Amino acid sequence: MKKLNVEFQELPYAVEEAMNRLRINIKFCGKNTKKILITSSMPNEGKSSIAINLWKMLAEAGFPTVLVDVDLRKSVIKERHHINDTEKLQDLGYYLSGQAEIEDVVYETQVENAYIVPCMNLLENPSALLEDARFAEILDKLAETYRYVIIDSPPLGSVADAAQIASLCDGAVLVVRAGETSRNLIKQSFQQLSQVGCTLLGVILNRVETAGRAYKKYYGKYGKYYKQYGYGEYGRYGQEAASSKDK
């Protein structure tokens, strides 16, 4: 198997602990929850950062885990984590268009148990490729080989791609940016996931100041989800260190 080097940002202690809680919660979702979508309602909510750190931590905990970058229109993972493509690496787009097979687009990384199907070339309109049977096939095959398949998708509120991807997953984690994402938009995201039959595993409230309870008032009846999964430490990290281009 070919190998890629993926650079990871060192996490502050509080962020690492928050991500570890997320990893543990994912573990308790059950053995049949393998294909896990990480998405958001709109861009710049931090979903890609959470997806890649969850992927790494699951692998480090001993679970063979593959990250599939399906944000084919605006992926940031290649640039942010310095994945080198000087050798014209075959990626998910090659597979979906029939120019490569599954074994050609799955790469080992320097982290044991961490594998990746990268997005090296952005596509203007990948919808038809994502609706093709080949996409469902690669997710199913990966789920047979790896304990977890972490899928980074476009935001639900931006394009129809995310709902199509969600329909093929066992569950979804919705990333919400505190103070930015409206309750109506969050409600619409819940409805979209429900309509395509994708279980909502939980919600991560990102970039939140946990001193005080303003966020509970802001999100009203949805607060039960945030309380259950409350990643406040990750939220503080997002404000202090994450790029404004986080997705």
Query: What is the residue-wise DSSP string for 18-45?
Result: HHHHHHHHHHTT-TT--EEEEEESSSSS
Whole-angstrom distance, CA of residue 215 vs CA of residue 166: 27
- Residue 227 CB partners (closer than 8 Å, separation 6+): 216
- Cα distances from 201 to residues 25, 47, 117, 132, in angstroms, run 9, 15, 23, 26
> Which of 50-64, 77-91, 95-109 bottoms out in mean pLDDT, i.e. has the lowest?
77-91
What's residue 218's pLDDT?
Answer: 43
Sign for the pseudo-dihedral over CA of 60, 27, 68, 133: positive
- What integer pLDDT is reported at residue 85 of this predicted model? 63
Which residues are bridge partners to 114 per DSSP? 65
| CA neighbor of 123 nearest in space, from 45, 163, 44, 70 | 70
Q: What is the pLDDT of residue 222?
A: 41
Q: Which residue has the higher pLDDT, 44 or 185?
A: 185
Given this model, what pLDDT does residue 169 score?
97
Residues 215, 216, 222, CA angle at the centre, nearest 5°? 115
Q: State mean pLDDT over 66-90.
A: 79
Amino acid at 176: V
Does 206 score more than 90 pLDDT?
no
The whole-number average pLDDT for the span 48-75 is 92
Residues forming a β-bridge with 3: 108
- Segment 69-87 mean pLDDT: 75
**Mean pLDDT over each residue of the chain, to the nearest integer:** 82
pLDDT confidence bin for 87, thresholds 50/70/90? low
Q: pTM for this one?
A: 0.82
List the structure tokens of 11.
């996490």
What is the H or E stretch that residue 200 is in? strand 200-206
Per-residue confidence band for 208, with pLDDT thresholds at 50, 70 and 90: low
Residue 221 has pLDDT above 50, yes or no: no
- Report angle CA 154, 243, 91 to the nearest 5 degrees: 45
